[in-house]
Amino acid sequence: MGHGAVRFKRCCAATGAAWVWLALASLSGAQTPTVKSDATWRTTATQPPDGWNTDIHFDDSDAAGWQNAFKSPSGDNIWYGSNHSDQSPNQAWFRYVFTLNQPIGNATGTFFFDDNGEAYINGRLIVADTTPGATTFHPTLDPTIFNVGSNLVAVHGIDTIPPFSNVAVDLFLLMPGDANGDGAVNFNDLLTLAQHYGQTGRGWSDGDFTGEGTVVFADLLLLAQHYGQSLVAAPADAFVNASPQIVPEPSPALLALPLLLLGTNRRRHA
């Protein structure tokens, strides 16, 4: 065995380790949150009037008695004023309005309460925590509850056990066609779909964007409709001040979709 073979083995062992790491990273949910709780969220310690959790245009200004949340040093945890129970109120209410430039096809969330409370998205109750002590939830969300345009996350937090008072929200949102969850629909997603085209027992990461388990033309159509586009989640104020969104013309790359699909199937059956 020459030096070349040794070098080859070393090279491929390293590459293999990298692939294992990548696979583990994706399995452990290393995806970046699309929306997360931070010090830009609005909070009050006084029970707000009706509409705080349902009305995007509810007044959460300083004048209405709201302020920016305190961001805890750890994670995406926030509270009113402090994350120490003895320095902060035992109840707090939170609001965050953000915009989406694309429809959502796949949505999951992480909701953490220290200790209890409720979380709402666009007025719908998502989680109600009455379990004593700190509790974390990982629900799969109905993607149709999200709007292209403005969206509201509202959280009521209740602290029952010192020393800490915290809530945290992470939303993981994917637009149709984004098989690999990197926030964009491009050739990598198309290749994944093409490799699984016609197969059953498949999931979102294989190109089944319609959720019935089979990768078919309807999935390709969704991908084609969003090809070349990226999901942007922005704080509402930034969006209001931004230029109007320009809807791009269908990319010339779309014309190549059927050809690519044919090519992939030919190779597989050859």
Q: Which residues bind Ca ion (CB under 5 A)?
A: 113-116, 129, 131, 135, 159, 161, 164, 178, 180, 182, 184, 189, 208, 210, 219
For the CB of residue 250, give the shortest distance to Ca ion in the complex, in Å.
18
Residue sitting closest to Ca ion (CB): 135
For the CB of residue 195, give the shortest distance to Ca ion in the complex, in Å.
14
Q: Which is nearer to Ca ion, 44 or 72 (CB)?
A: 72
Q: Which is nearer to Ca ion, 16 or 132 (CB)?
A: 132
DSSP code string of the chain? --HHHHHHHHHHHHHHHHHHHHHHHHHTT-PPPSEE--TTSEEESS-PPTTTTT-TT---SGGGT-EEPEEPSSTT-EESS-SBGGGS-SEEEEEEEEEESS--SEEEEEEEEESEEEEEETTEEEEEE-SSS-EEE--EE-GGGSPSEEEEEEEEEE--SSSB-EEEEEEEEE-TT-TT-SSB-SHHHHHHHHHHTT-SS--GGGT--SSSS---HHHHHHHHHTTT-B--EEEHHHHHHSPPPPPPPPPGGGGGHHHHHHHHHHHHH-
For the CB of residue 64, give the shortest distance to Ca ion in the complex, in Å.
27
Q: Which is nearer to Ca ion, 40 or 144 (CB)?
A: 144
Q: Which is nearer to Ca ion, 16 or 250 (CB)?
A: 250
For the CB of residue 219, give the shortest distance to Ca ion in the complex, in Å.
4
Q: Which is nearer to Ca ion, 60 or 178 (CB)?
A: 178
For the CB of residue 170, give the shortest distance to Ca ion in the complex, in Å.
17
